[in-house]
Amino acid sequence: GESASDVYDRISTFFDSLWRSFSSNKSTNYVLVTHGISIRVLLARYFRYSVDQFQTMSNPSNCEMIILGHDGYGRLELEGRCELKLTKVETEGEETSESDNNVKVSGYHFFKKLKVIPKRYMRTRTIRMDYS
């Protein structure tokens, strides 16, 4: 797939026009439907996350929502995220395996923070600078 840098370059012009649209077309709500890497790039660009902060964010799950709200002063702030709440559906007379998708959406779970990758997948970096 594409690297985050490739996605950043490809969708930067879209984001620039999106910000202009936000300024000229005041509205109470906007909905963007994107792939996970695109929403991570949008968040990193808008909130000026470092590369390390970007790398710790997990891609949103399918149908997960990231919610940004107005702060009252013309800026957006992260309000949280919603994940689908799935309930297993029992079907009479049919045998189902664990791989069957006999589930229905029964709501959403709200979380105040973004999902991050488990610490076991994070690598630490040491950066040394030489001014000589």
The model's pLDDT over 59-90, given as tens digits with 9 standing for 90+, comes to 898 889 999 888 878 788 999 999 989 888 88
> CA 51, CA 15: separation in Å to the nearest integer?
19
> CA 36, CA 110: separation in Å to the nearest integer?
18
pTM beyond cutoff 0.95: no
Report pLDDT for 94.
64
Report pLDDT for 22.
74
Segments of the chain scoring below 70 in pLDDT: 27-28, 93-100
Helices marked H in the chain: 4-24, 36-47, 51-56
Handedness of CA 46, 47, 52, 57 (dihedral sign): negative
Report pLDDT for 100.
60
Q: Which two tokens stand for residue 19?
A: 């910000």
Helices marked H in 25-130: 36-47, 51-56
Q: Strands (DSSP E) along the chain, which ranges?
A: 65-70, 76-88, 103-111
Report pLDDT for 23.
73
Report pLDDT for 130.
85
